[in-house]
Structure 1
Amino acid sequence: MTASTVSNPRPYSLTVPLQSRDARTTALLQGEILLETRAHSAWGAGVTAQMYLPIQPERAWAQLTDYPRWVQFFPDITQSRILERSPIGQGQETHQRLYQAARKSFLFITAEVEIYLQVIETAGQRIQFHLESGSFHDFQADLQLQDLAEGALLTYSVQATPTIPVPSPFIQQAIHWDLPHNMRNMRQMLCSH
């Protein structure tokens, strides 16, 4: 892909070339949500979203790893709970098992999904989510935090193929409409605590 769509509260979108790092950084610092959708399979989709958090990365990390709170970040998630938690070796990694359930309406269909995830946290930097079982053929997500200006850059990438056969272009369009709203909601929740 050669461009990334910048989504914002205004009713239009801007396109910022990937090589224009200064324009991307400026857009992020102004509160824009940068969103890039892609096909993942015939029935799946992938997306990478970035946003600036005007809070210290440590403060964001503490809240992002409070997985039961994800029901507040993403309104479609109806349940999110930790099933198991354990450190990995002597390093800074933690392994967890997580259960999440969600309900989403699109087109004239309401889908309810549940998922069991293996979660690997690299302290203060990265959370990797891998499908164990659930309502998806495949699911993988990666959340990263980096320092940016006086706060943090949050990058969230996900790719999934649901078991419900919905063509990839419809899923990409749903993501394009929903994810920026969900990311703004997440930022509001993270910054208000």
Structure 2
Amino acid sequence: MSASYISKSTIKADQMPWSQEKQQLLIQGEILVKTQNLNHSAQLHSLWGGSVTAWMYLPLVRSHVWQQITDYPRWVQYFPDITKSEVLTKGDVKRLYQAAQKAFFLFTAQVEIYLNVVEVLGQQIQFQMEKGTFEDFYAKLEFQDYGEGTLLAYTVQAIPNIPIPSIFIQQAMNFELPANMRKMRQVLCRE
């Protein structure tokens, strides 16, 4: 697909929320992470759960990144814990089913989620939980041209259905989301 189908959404270095040093780390492959407090979120008001945004630079044109990331069954390649990712219905609002398995100290957690997916062509994907093994879940991917490649911002807000204090959820998300994004970049850049 040609890049012409995607509207221009370019971020310039002086518009970045980071210092020049952090921008250089981003270009060199670092994943930048920011944790937000859910208690200030109108969507997710709880003492349990977490919210994290991670930014990643991809040395690929945005149209290519978009095309690959919106191939939702491929998410099992991007995120090692996802065991199934299936598009149930297509249209303006897609329905997506995902299942994942995560090993913890003494047990393995299995989760499944049905998501409503809204895409703004080449710019943004929003995932809103319809039902699943979370109290609440929301995610958003944002795509912008940056230098010769693409800046991808991935925000995840989640409240598990078991009471786990926010600090533990956010610590796990701070570790897991960057690791998952590194794997995603590795798969995307191999092609």
Q: TM-score range by the shorter chain?
A: 0.7 to 0.9
Please say if 1:71 is aligned against 2:69: no
Work out the CA distance in 1 between the residues paired with 2:64 and 2:158: 29
Displacement of 1:175: 1.5
For residue 87 of structure 2, the aligned residue among 82, 102, 106 is: 82
Consecutive unaligned residues of structure 1, counting only runs of 5 or more, are 1-17, 87-93
8 Å Cα contact 1:39-1:169 kept in structure 2: no
Please say if 1:47 is aligned against 2:35: no
TM-score (norm 1): 0.83
Q: Which residue of 1 aligns with 2:150?
A: 152
Q: Which residue of 1 aligns with 2:173?
A: 175
Q: Which residue of 2 aligns with 1:62?
A: 67
TM-score (norm 2): 0.84
| Residue range with higher mean Cα deviation, 44-53 or 167-176 | 167-176
The structure carrying a bigger helix percent of its residues is 2
Please say if 1:27 is aligned against 2:25: yes
User: Which structure exhibits the higher relative contact order, with contacts defined as CA atoms closer than 8 Å and separated by 6 or more residues?
Assistant: 2
The structure carrying a bigger strand percent of its residues is 1
Secondary structure (helix, strand or coil) at the match of 1:164 reads coil
8 Å Cα contact 1:106-1:174 kept in structure 2: no
Work out the CA distance in 1 between the residues paired with 2:17 and 2:150: 21
The structure 1 segments of at least 4 consecutive aligned residues displaced by more than 4 Å after TM superposition are none
Secondary structure (helix, strand or coil) at the match of 2:162 reads coil
Identity %: 55
Q: Which residue of 2 aligns with 1:104?
A: 102
What's the RMSD between the two structures over aligned residues? 1.4
| Residue range with higher mean Cα deviation, 21-30 or 153-162 | 21-30
Displacement of 1:19: 5.2
Q: What is the number of equivalent residue pairs in this alignment?
A: 169
Displacement of 1:84: 0.3
Q: Deviations over 1:147-187 (max 9, x none)?
A: 00100000000101010222211111212222221111000
| Residue range with higher mean Cα deviation, 39-48 or 145-154 | 39-48
Displacement of 1:37: 2.1
